[in-house]
Amino acid sequence: MPVIANTPLTGYNTPQLIPSSCPTDYQTIAENAVGVKLSEVREFAETVVANVERVIVGKREVVELAVVALLCEGHILIEDVPGVGKTMLARSLAISLGCTFKRIQFTPDLLPNDVTGVSVFNQKTGDFEFRPGPAFANVLLADEINRATPRTQSSLLECMGERQISVDGVSRTLPRPFLVLATQNPVEYEGTFPLPEAQLDRFLLRLRLGYPTLEDERQILTNLRRSHPIDSLEKAVDGSQLIALQQAVTDVYVEDSVRDYVLAVVRATREHPDVALGASPRGSLALFKTAQAYAAIQGRDYVLPDDPKKLAPYALAHRLIVRPESQLRGRSADAILASILQTIDVPVAR
C-alpha cells in the first residue's frame, strides 16, 4: 500500500482543510495588497527565517530561498542525501506560516488518486462524494518524488501549474498559499523514474541543503539532546499576509539593463554548444521574479545586477539538458551555467 501521511480517512462532503489564518477570499486579499510596503516583506521574511532557523541550523541561505519561492508562488525541488533536514524544512515553513502541511512518501505503487483525491459512492445519499487527497494543503512535501511512476508524478503537474485539481470532470481550486516541496536522492537511482523536463521546469528553484559544518552539527546535537525543536515550534506570522506580500513583490523595480542581463543569461543557455535544451521563457520569468523577491527580503525596492547572477544557479540549472557527449566529458549543467555567468558582463551604473 502507498504510504501517505495525514490523509483524510473519513467521509465528508465539503472538506475544511484551510485554517482561518489562510483565507480563501483572494479578491479581498488582493485589494488589501494595495498600500503594502516592501518593508513589510522584509519583516515577514526575517520573522519566518528566524523561526525556521530554530529547527534548521546553519542553512540561512536555503531558508531565505525557500521564502523567496513562497513570495513568488513557486515550487521547490530539493536534491540532497537523506537526513539533512528536507522534511523538517517543509514542516517548519508550514508551522511558521500557520498553514496546513501534508506529506506523501512517493513509492512505485502510489497512484494519482492517492495524491489528488478520489470520488467515493455514498450508499446513504446515492451520490458520489469527493474525498480530497494530500494535495489539498498549503505546504505539500512530495518525498522522494522520483520513486513514483511517471503517471503519478504527472498528477502534480496541474497542481503546480494551475493550482487546481480536476477529478471526474470537476476542477477544484487548491488553497493559497500553495507550495510543493519535492525531494529526491541524487545518489541512489536504482528503482527510480527520473523527472521529465516538463515537470522539472515547473519547479521555480532547485536547492541543496548539504551537510552541516562542524560547529552547526555540534549545535544540532545540543538542540536535540532532550526533544526535537519542531515539537515546540509555533506559528510566527499570519499566513494570510503572504497573498498580499506576493502582490507587493511585483512592484520591485527592475532597470532595463538588469532585465536585459536576465534575458542574455537565459538565451546563452539555449545557444551553448554543450546544451541540448536550454532554459525556456518560464526560466526567464523565474529568474526575473525571484530577483524581485530576493531584493524585497533584503530590504530593497530595486533589483541589483548581482541578484539574478546569484539566483541563476538555483533558478536555471535544473532546466538545462546537457548533450550526452558533453556529459561523457564531465560537463554538468551547473558547470555550464557557471561558465555562462562568467562570460556575460554584469551591467554597471553609469
196 prior amide bond cis, ω within 30? no
Last residue of a domain, one of 251, 267, 282: 251
Whether 188 is covered by a domain: the verdict is yes
Whether 175 is covered by a domain: the verdict is yes
Whether 15 is covered by a domain: the verdict is no
Residue type present at position 168: D
Helix or strand run (H / E) with residue 184: strand 179-184
Do 247 and 258 share a domain, yes or no?
no
Last residue of a domain, one of 251, 278, 311: 251
Q: Please report the DSSP string for 288-301 in residue order.
A: HHHHHHHHHHTT-S
Three-class secondary structure of residue 20 per DSSP: coil
Whether 226 is covered by a domain: the verdict is yes
pTM of the shown model:
0.84
Q: What is the CATH number of the domain that holds 349?
A: 1.10.8.80
- Residue 147: count of CB within 10 angstroms of its CB: 19
- Rg (Cα) of the chain, in Å, rounded? 21
Listed residue (70, 32, 29) closest to 48, CA to CA = 70
pLDDT in tens, the chain (350 residues): 344 444 333 333 333 333 434 444 434 444 444 456 788 999 999 999 999 999 999 999 999 999 999 999 999 999 988 888 888 998 999 999 998 899 999 999 999 999 999 888 888 888 888 899 999 998 999 999 989 998 898 888 888 888 889 888 888 899 888 899 999 887 776 778 888 887 889 999 999 999 999 999 999 999 888 889 999 999 999 888 888 899 999 999 999 999 999 999 999 999 999 999 999 999 999 999 999 999 999 999 999 999 999 999 999 999 999 999 999 998 999 999 999 999 998 887 55
Residue 8, Ramachandran bin (φ over 0: left; ψ between -120 and 50: alpha; else beta): beta
Do 94 and 207 share a domain, yes or no?
yes
Do 308 and 319 share a domain, yes or no?
yes
Which pLDDT belongs to residue 36? Answer: 67
Whether 202 is covered by a domain: the verdict is yes
Give the C-alpha separation, 81 to 62, whole Å: 15
Last residue of a domain, one of 251, 279, 309: 251
Which pLDDT belongs to residue 300? Answer: 92
Give the C-alpha separation, 209 to 59, whole Å: 7
Residue 91 · residue 230 · CB < 8 Å: yes
Do 285 and 322 share a domain, yes or no?
yes
Do 219 and 132 share a domain, yes or no?
yes
All cell numbers assigned to 348: 554597471
Q: What is the dihedral of CA 14, 15, 18, 23, to 10 degrees?
A: 0
Listed residue (74, 139, 131) closest to 103, CA to CA = 139
Three-class secondary structure of residue 225 per DSSP: coil
Into how many domains does the chain fold? 2
Give the C-alpha separation, 60 to 16, whole Å: 33
Give the C-alpha separation, 106 to 114, whole Å: 10
Specify burial of residue 332 (Cβ count, 10 A radius: 0-12, 13-18, 19+): middle
State whether the Cα torsion 95-103-224-227 is positive or negative: positive
Do 57 and 205 share a domain, yes or no?
yes
Whether 146 is covered by a domain: the verdict is yes
Do 206 and 227 share a domain, yes or no?
yes
Give helix then strand counts, H and E, for the chain.
Answer: 15, 12
Whether 102 is covered by a domain: the verdict is yes
Do 247 and 259 share a domain, yes or no?
no
Task: Give the domain range for residue 311.
Answer: 252-350
Which pLDDT belongs to residue 3? Answer: 41
Whether 219 is covered by a domain: the verdict is yes
Give the C-alpha separation, 15 to 81, whole Å: 35
Give the C-alpha separation, 159 to 178, whole Å: 9
All cell numbers assigned to 308: 539574478
Angle between helices 60-71 and 86-97 (to 10 degrees): 50
Residue 294 · residue 71 · CB < 8 Å: no
What values do phi and psi take at 203, rounded to 5? -85, 125
Which pLDDT belongs to residue 307? Answer: 95
Do 118 and 232 share a domain, yes or no?
yes
Residue 331 · residue 90 · CB < 8 Å: no
Q: What is the CATH number of the domain that holds 68?
A: 3.40.50.300
Which pLDDT belongs to residue 35? Answer: 52
Which pLDDT belongs to residue 74? Answer: 93
Do 122 and 231 share a domain, yes or no?
yes
Do 161 and 290 share a domain, yes or no?
no
Do 56 and 144 share a domain, yes or no?
yes
